[in-house]
């Protein structure tokens, strides 16, 4: 489910499943065995015999930052497409399936010609909305009917969700995936005696994927964007703030893609994207759990070794973020409590200053941090405050935010945040306060060794960001941070010129409608729960929701303490939606 504000808000459900919010800093080294297949696939093995299970995952080193204008959202679309099956999974008649897919592409090519004419009419001002049915040409409407017949024909040979069904029947659990700006990760836990099934299933979908129902799934992603971004109180504003913050870097666009790009991504675009970024030399396979490394690697060689090396190396992201030259501000009216979000341009993953910035974030954040003591308990201008360094692969941000208390305003909260930061810029933090934060980091390191899946997630994120060794090396680097380092990074990065500020005030005519279930959650957690609640309204299958609920129950032990209240609220919302759907059927 290590990213920007946008990722954290839109993928809170992914983070709950991952059970993480930032990269870990383990107090003891994780015994990772690294190997590489001749085709370039990197393999990481961690032998643990605590339970008779294996948590397996693989990371494709591709995210939204690897896209370009016109195909934004493609990386996330693949998160969906990789579950569609293979020649032997997902269909009763593969040859007929291929025939239909080819016919669909023929019709879609004709539809794209009509769509180009529609965009030209839009540019001339002849129409104002590309999606309105009345603006579609007669020829386009004919093609839509022809395509609908092909969709129906394909449904007759499809086996829906067969990938999940095979795993579930074998006793596997927790199958999911997530897309970030810099990586896409796929993961599941299987019984130890089903490791060969895992190797076959995962190698098959990498070697011989079939992107059936491509355009239907593209529409699903478009609807997901509408629910997560456009139908939530702050979604579109956070997207605008993120785009204003990142000027030149591809982090500028949202992970889920721009609304005009998603409907135009073609299967040809997707095939080219897949060939470039899903080649074995751009993937890392990770196994954590109950196995003998030599035997496990033999299975990996047998199945993943079949996949041919890609014809070309994945291109690196070369565009650097430009330095800030002036403060940027966005003032928004939304149906939320008054609040402020501040973002400063900082550094990315493994930069030597990222560790001091992480310490700085913890000095300011948490219930014992300076922001809470100063703004919530002290001046009482805020009800909730947050701060954190957010490193990504190519760059990073330092984020601070606060929700205004009744009778106070976002500018008061903003001013209070600056005053606490200025204290750290002026005076070195006392040694005992710094050590307390370091101790908290060390305690967090130990907790994240609690399960196979918890370790898997840390390795997937670290490897996807650029170097899995960070799982063992970041702890000592955190402990080496000095009071001088903290003061230096506060002065170097938290400047007026590098910051972007978003203030949110309540839209006139809308009163507070606080959900009592959200009491006690932070503003960021509330926003995440509200987004998921909005998505639940579109769910129509109680059986699927029950499966989701069961997976959440299963992952509960992996969720950090600070996220458990969020998980409980989400579970309650899912249960309520199940009851509502079942009552409607009676």
Express each pLDDT in 202-241 by its tens digit: 999 999 999 999 998 998 888 888 888 887 888 899 999 9
pLDDT of residue 9: 33
pLDDT of residue 515: 72
Closest-CA residue to 9 (of 207, 189, 232, 200): 232
Residues of the chain with pLDDT under 70: 1-27, 509-514, 523-524, 527, 530-531, 534-535, 537-540, 554-562, 582-586
pLDDT of residue 470: 94
Q: What is the pLDDT of residues 86-135, one digit of tens each?
A: 999 999 999 999 999 999 999 999 999 999 999 999 999 999 988 888 89
219: three-class secondary structure by DSSP: helix
Query: Hey, which bits of 4-122 come out as E strands?
Result: 33-36, 42-47, 53-60
Q: CB count, 10 Å around CB of 159?
A: 12
> Which residues are registered as beta bridge partners of 140?
none
Contact 299, 199 (CB under 8 A): yes
Task: Answer left, alpha or beta for residue 197, where phi above 0 means left and psi between -120 and 50 means alpha.
Answer: alpha
Q: CB count, 10 Å around CB of 232?
A: 25
pLDDT of residue 66: 97
Question: Domain 328-506 - what CATH class?
Answer: alpha beta
Angle, CA 402 vertex, CA 573 and CA 424 arms, to 5°: 140
Contact 496, 325 (CB under 8 A): no
CA atoms in the 13 A half-sphere facing the CB of 428: 9
DSSP 382: E
pLDDT of residue 230: 83
Closest-CA residue to 195 (of 261, 92, 293): 293
pLDDT of residue 19: 35
Domain extent listing, the chain = 5-304, 328-506, 528-585
173 exposure class (CB count in 10 Å sphere: 0-12, 13-18, 19+): middle
pLDDT of residue 141: 93
Contact 408, 385 (CB under 8 A): no
pLDDT of residue 561: 67
Q: What is the pLDDT of residues 434-474, one digit of tens each?
A: 999 999 888 877 777 778 999 999 999 999 999 999 999 99
| 5-304 and 328-506, same CATH topology | yes
What sections of 380-430 are H helices per DSSP? 410-426
Contact 546, 581 (CB under 8 A): no
pLDDT of residue 16: 34
CA–CA distance, 537 with 347 (Å, rounded to integer): 39
CA–CA distance, 71 with 273 (Å, rounded to integer): 10
Superfamily of domain 5-304, CATH level 4: Metalloenzyme, LuxS/M16 peptidase-like (3.30.830.10)
Taking the alpha carbons of 111, 115, 116, 118 in that order, is the dihedral positive or negative? positive
pLDDT of residue 408: 96
């Amino acid at each position: 489910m290590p990213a920007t504000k946008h990722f954290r808000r839109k993928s809170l459900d992914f983070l709950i499943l991952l059970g993480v919010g930032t990269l870990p800093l383990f107090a003891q080294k994780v015994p990772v065995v690294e190997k590489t297949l001749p085709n370039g696939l990197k393999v990481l093995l961690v032998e643990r015999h605590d339970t008779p299970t294996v948590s397996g995952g693989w990371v494709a080193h591709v995210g939204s930052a690897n896209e370009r204008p016109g195909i934004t959202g493609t990386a996330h679309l693949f998160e969906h497409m990789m579950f569609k099956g293979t020649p032997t999974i997902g269909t009763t008649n593969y040859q007929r399936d291929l025939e239909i897919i080819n016919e669909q592409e023929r019709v879609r090519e004709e539809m794209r010609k009509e769509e180009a004419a529609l965009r030209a009419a839009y540019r001339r001002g002849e129409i104002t909305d590309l999606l309105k049915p009345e603006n579609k040409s007669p020829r386009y409407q004919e093609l839509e009917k022809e395509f609908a017949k092909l969709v129906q024909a394909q449904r007759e040979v499809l086996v829906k969700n067969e990938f999940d069904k095979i795993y579930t029947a074998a006793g596997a659990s927790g199958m999911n995936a997530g897309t970030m700006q810099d990586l896409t990760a796929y993961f599941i836990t299987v019984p130890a005696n089903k490791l060969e099934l895992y190797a076959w299933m995962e190698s098959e979908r990498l070697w011989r994927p079939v992107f059936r129902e491509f355009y239907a799934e593209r529409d699903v992603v478009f609807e997901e964007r509408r629910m997560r971004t456009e139908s939530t109180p702050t979604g579109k504003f956070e997207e605008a703030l993120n785009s204003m913050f990142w000027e030149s870097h591809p982090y500028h666009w949202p992970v889920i893609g721009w609304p005009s790009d998603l409907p135009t991504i073609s299967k040809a675009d997707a095939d080219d994207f897949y060939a470039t970024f899903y080649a074995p030399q751009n993937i890392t396979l990770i196994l954590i759990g109950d196995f003998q490394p030599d035997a496990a690697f033999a299975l990996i060689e047998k199945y993943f070794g079949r996949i041919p090396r890609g014809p070309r190396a994945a291109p690196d992201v070369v565009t650097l973020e430009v330095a800030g030259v002036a403060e940027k501000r966005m003032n928004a009216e939304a149906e939320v409590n008054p609040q402020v979000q501040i973002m400063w341009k900082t550094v990315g993953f493994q930069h030597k200053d990222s560790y001091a910035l992480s310490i700085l974030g913890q000095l300011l954040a948490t219930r014992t941090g300076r922001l809470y003591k100063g703004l919530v308990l002290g001046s009482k201008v805020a009800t909730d405050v947050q701060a954190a360094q957010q490193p990504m692969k190519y760059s990073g941000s330092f984020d601070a935010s606060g929700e205004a208390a009744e009778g106070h305003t976002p500018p008061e909260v903003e001013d209070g945040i600056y005053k606490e930061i200025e204290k750290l810029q002026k005076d070195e933090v006392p040694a005992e306060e710094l050590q307390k934060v370091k101790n908290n980091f060390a305690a967090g390191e130990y907790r994240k060794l609690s399960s196979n899946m918890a370790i898997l997630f840390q390795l997937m994120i670290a490897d996807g960001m650029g170097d899995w060794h960070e799982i063992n090396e970041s702890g000592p680097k955190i402990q080496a941070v000095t009071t001088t380092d903290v003061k230096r990074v506060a002065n170097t990065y938290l400047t007026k010129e590098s910051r972007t500020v978003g203030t949110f005030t309540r839209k006139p005519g809308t009163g507070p409608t606080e959900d009592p279930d959200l009491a006690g959650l932070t503003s960021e957690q509330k926003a995440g729960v509200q987004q998921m609640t909005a998505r639940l309204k579109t769910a129509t299958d109680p059986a699927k929701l029950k499966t989701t609920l069961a997976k959440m129950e299963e992952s509960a032990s992996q969720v950090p303490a600070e996220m458990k209240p969020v998980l409980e609220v989400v579970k309650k919302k899912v249960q309520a939606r199940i009851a509502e759907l079942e009552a409607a059927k009676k």
